[in-house]
Chain A
Amino acid sequence: MKRIRPKLAVWKFASCDGCQLSLLDCEDELLEIAGEIEIAHFLEATSASAGGPYDLSLVEGSVTTAHDAARIQEVRKQSRFLITIGACATAGGIQALRNFADVREYAAIVYARPDYIQTLATSTAIADHVKVDFELRGCPISTRQLVETISAFLAGRKPQTPPHSVCVECKIAGNLCVMVGHGTPCLGPVTHAGCGALCPSYNRGCYGCYGPMETPNAPSLSAWLGKLGMDEDALKRVYRNFNANADAFRKESERHDR
C-alpha cells in the first residue's frame, strides 16, 4: 500500500529566516520528518517547488508590505492547516518597532533613496490578516517545540506547548529565581514558556522572546522592576523587543512612554 504523505510548505514574510532555519536545525529528526511529510515548498532548503494546495503551511515573518498582505491571502487559500512560527509571524517581530514611530523617518535615515522603499506603516502578525490554526511562539522558535508541533499535526492531536509563565520552566529545572535571588530584572513571570528558561538558566533575566504568557500582569511586574532600579524609559524599552507589538507588551510599554 503506497502511503500518501501530507504536503508541507514553508513560507517567508518579513523575517530573518531564523525560524525556518530551525526546521533544518532538526538534524536528528530531519530525515524522519522528510519521511513522514512531503516537503513540497521550502525555498530555504531547495529552489525546487511543488505546487499547492498544501496540507500544512508553516509561515514565518510579519506583514510589512502591500504585496505581502495580498500574498498571505493566497497562502491561506492554498493551506489546509496554517501554523505561524516565531515572534515576527505571531506578533510582528522586532520590525514592529516602526509601529511606535514614523516609518518614513526610519526609511530616510537608513536608505540612500527612501523613495525606492515601498512599505506599510506597520508590521503586523499573520493572524491580523488571515485565520491562523496554531501559533508557535519564540525568537527563534525552539526546535523541540517545532518537532512536537509537527508530530502533533501528524497524529491529529494538540501540541504540548503550554502557555503559562517561564517561571514554571525555571522551577521544573530547579533554577534559582534570578530576580529574587540576585535582584536581576526578569520578564519570566509575564512571558510565555517554551524556551526551557534558557536565559535564567545562565543567570540572565528573561528577555520575553516568547511574548506574553496566557494571563500577563505586566503592570505589577513593572512596579517591582521599578523597585529594582529601572526607570520609566528602561521600563518602556524592556517590553519593546521581539514581541513589542504583542498586545500586553505594547500596552505596558506605552504606559511608560511619556
Chain B
Amino acid sequence: MAKADEAAATITVEGLQALLRAIRAGGYRAIGPTVQNQAIVYDDIESVDDLPRGVTDEQDGGRYRLARRDDDALFGYAVGPHSWKKYLHAPKLRLWTAERVGENASVTPEAPPTDRLAFIGVRACEIRAIEIQDKVLVNDMYVDPHYQALRESALIVAVNCGKAGGTCFCVSMHAGPRVEQGFDLALTELLDGTEHSFLVETGSDEGRALLAQVPHRLASSREVEAGEAVIEHTAASMGRNMRSDDLNELLMSNLEHPRWDEVATRCLSCTNCTLVCPTCFCTSVEDTSDLSGARAERWRRWDSCFTMDFSYIHGGSVRASAKSRYRQWMTHKLATWIDQFGSSGCVGCGRCITWCPVGIDITEEVRAIRGGDASTEDSR
C-alpha cells in the first residue's frame, strides 16, 4: 500500500454499498463502525445500513455521548472506544496447548489466523497507529506471527475525517486528519444539500481493482476542492492541541516535576488509557493447567504498565507508586518511544482522554509540565 497516486473518483452511497459487496465477495470479513449500546464501536458489517447514519459523538475528558446530526452522514463522528488493535492484536489469545503423553508432553502451538480482514472507515490517526504497531510487532527484532498474518492480508478502506472529536489532537502529532498513506482505498464523505457522495483515492493495486468493480466516475474539480475543504475544516477544529516538537527533551528533563505527584492523586491505575490506546501493545502470559494435570495452556492477554504485576520481579514491583506508573506510561508514549522505535507512540486520537474514568488529559499534563498555565493554549 502506497500513497494516493492518481486522480480521485467519485462514488455514491449506492457505490459504497457496491464496494462493500465487492469486498465481501472477494473473501474478506468486513469490519466497520456500528452503533451499539450508545457508542460507535467496530464490528462485522454487511452493508451501509450497518454504518452509523446521521450520528455523531460528543467527547471530553471522561465523557462520551452520541448525538444526532442534521444530515445523513455515514462517517460524521470521531474515533470511539475500540481501535483496530482489537482485531490485529487480540485482547486474549491462546499461544499453545500442551498434553501429557506418558512421561513427556506434546506442545501444539496455536496456528496463525487465516481470516482476511477488511477494515472500513479507518482514520488517518489509526493508520499511523497500525504503522507504529507494525514497527513493534513485525518490523523489529521479534515477529508476532498472529499479528503478521492478519496485518499482511488486511484491506484498509480509510476515511478522511469530516469532524474532529472533542479530544482529538492528531494535527499536533502530525498523524492526521488527512489520510496520506497505508491504505487501499481512501474516502472523503461529501454532503452537499441533497447530494451524498464519496471521493475515492486509490492507494494500491487491490484498491484499484476493487474500484473498477464499482460504479464510479472521475471526480470534478469542484468535488476535489470540496474534499480538501472538509479536511481543512477538520484540521482547524481539533478539540485539543499539544506542542510536540520537544517532548523527549521536555519530559526527560522533568522526571522530578511536582506535576507527577499531582496527577498521581487523580490517576486510578485502572489501565483504561493503555487499553484504549491504539499503539499500546503490552501483553502478559498466563499459564494454566487442568485438574488432572494432563493438559496445560499458555494464554496471552492485554496487560498494562499500570498494573503491579507488569513490573513485578522477585521482591516486588519496580514501579510501586501511581506516580512512577503514570510517569512511565507518559514518558514512554511521548518521549522514550522515539528513542526505541523512531517515532512518537502517540497519534493524537484522544482515546486516553475520553476513556479515562476521571478525565485525565495527556495534553493538559504536558502543558503543566511545560510550566505554563494549563488553561492557556500553546502553539502546535
* Residue contact A172 to B302, C-beta cutoff 8 Å: yes
- In angstroms, Cα B287 to Cα A148, docked, is 11
Knowing A167-B270, A171-B272, A220-B268, say if A181 contacts B39 (CB, 8 Å). Answer: yes
CB of A187, distance to nearest CB on chain B (Å) = 10
Contact of A220 with B265 at beta-carbon distance under 8 Å, contacts A174-B41, A189-B357 already known? yes
CB distance from B227 to the nearest CB of A (A): 31
State which of A32, A174, A217 has its C-beta within 8 Å of the C-beta of B82: A174
User: In chain A between 16 and 74, which residues have their CB closer than 8 angstroms to a CB of chain B?
Assistant: 29, 32-33, 35-36
Q: A152–B287 Cα gap in the complex (Å)?
A: 10
Interface residues of B in 243-286 (CB under 8 A from A): 265-272, 275-276, 286
Q: Give the contact stretch, choosing among B112-120, B121-129, B184-192, B304-312.
A: B304-312
Which among A125-133, A157-165, A239-247 touches the partner chain? A157-165
Q: How far, in whole Å, are A45 and B306 apart by their CA atoms in the complex?
A: 42
Q: B25 near A: Cβ within 8 Å?
A: no
Asked if residues B309 and A164 are in contact (CB atoms below 8 Å), the reply is yes
- In the assembled complex, the CB of B103 is this many whole angstroms from the nearest CB of chain A, namely 14
CA distance A176 to B354 in the complex (A): 12
By a CB distance below 8 angstroms, the chain B residues around A4 are none
Asked, given contacts A165-B270, A179-B357, A220-B268, whether A171 binds B91 with beta carbons under 8 Å apart, the answer is yes
Identify whether the interface residues of A are mostly helix, strand, loop, or mixed.
helix
- Interchain CA distance A241-B356 in the complex, whole Å: 25
In the complex, A203 has a CB within 8 A of chain B:
yes
Q: Is A150 an interface residue (CB 8 A)?
A: yes
> Which residues of B lie under 8 Å from residue A157 when comparing CB positions?
287, 289
Q: A254 — which chain B residues lie within 8 A by C-beta?
A: none
Is B221 in the interface zone, CB < 8 Å from A? no
**Interface residue B355 (Cβ < 8 Å from any Cβ of A):** yes
Given A33-B291, A164-B307, A176-B41: A171 and B275 interface contact (C-beta under 8 Å): yes
Name the A residues within 8 Å of B41 (CB-CB): 174, 176
Check: B290 CB closer than 8 A to any chain A CB.
Answer: yes
| Minimum Cβ distance to chain A for residue B261 (Å) | 13
Contact of A182 among B38, B287, B301, B302 (CB under 8 A): B38
A188 within 8 A of B: yes
Q: Are A160 and B288 in contact (CB under 8 A)?
A: yes
Question: Among B36, B62, B288, B309, which residue has its beta carbon within 8 angstroms of that of A151?
Answer: B288
**Could you tell me the distance in whole angstroms from the C-beta of A146 to the nearest C-beta in chain B?**
11
A217-B322 CB under 8 A given contacts A164-B271, A172-B92, A172-B301: yes
Q: A202 CB to closest chain B CB, in angstroms?
A: 10
Mark each residue of chain A from 170 to 195: 1 if its CB lies under 8 Å from any CB of chain B, else 0.
Answer: 01111011011111001011100000
Residue B96 CB within 8 A of the other chain: no
- Give A254 to B359 CA distance when docked, in angstroms: 25
User: A215: shortest Cβ distance to chain B, in Å?
Assistant: 5
Contact between A214 and B275 (Cβ–Cβ < 8 Å)?
no
* B15 touches A (CB below 8 Å): no
Interface membership of B375, Cβ < 8 A? no
Q: Are A224 and B308 in contact (CB under 8 A)?
A: no
Is A199 positioned at the interface, with any CB of B under 8 Å from its CB?
no
A223 beta carbon closer than 8 Å to chain B = yes
A220 engages B307 (CB within 8 Å): no
Output the nearest chain B residue to A157 by Cβ-Cβ distance: B289
Contact pattern, B 114-156, Cβ under 8 Å of A = 1, otherwise 0:
0000000000000000000000000000000000000000000
A120 on interface, CB distance cutoff 8 Å: no
The reply to whether the CB of B81 lies closer than 8 angstroms to some CB of chain A is yes
A168-B271 contact in complex given A174-B91, A177-B355, A180-B62, C-beta closer than 8 Å? yes
Q: Is A151's CB under 8 angstroms from B268's CB?
A: no
**Chain A residues within an 8 Å CB radius of B276:** 171
A163 to B78, CA, bound (A): 33
Q: Do B358 and A220 touch (CB < 8 A)?
A: yes
Extra inter-chain contacts (17) besides given A174-B82, A179-B62, A181-B37, CB under 8 Å: A147-B291, A150-B291, A152-B289, A155-B293, A164-B309, A165-B269, A167-B271, A167-B272, A171-B272, A176-B38, A179-B357, A180-B81, A215-B269, A215-B322, A217-B266, A220-B267, A224-B62
By Cβ-Cβ distance, the 7 closest A-B pairs, closest first, are A189-B270, A171-B275, A172-B91, A189-B268, A167-B270, A164-B307, A165-B270
B interface residues, Cβ below 8 angstroms from A: 36-39, 41, 62-65, 81-82, 86, 91-92, 265-272, 275-276, 286-293, 301-304, 306-309, 322, 354-359
Q: Can you spell out 25 A-B residue pairs with CB atoms less than 8 angstroms apart?
A: A150-B291, A155-B289, A160-B288, A167-B271, A168-B302, A171-B271, A173-B91, A174-B82, A174-B86, A174-B91, A176-B36, A177-B64, A177-B357, A179-B357, A180-B63, A180-B64, A181-B81, A183-B63, A188-B270, A189-B270, A189-B358, A214-B307, A215-B322, A224-B62, A224-B359
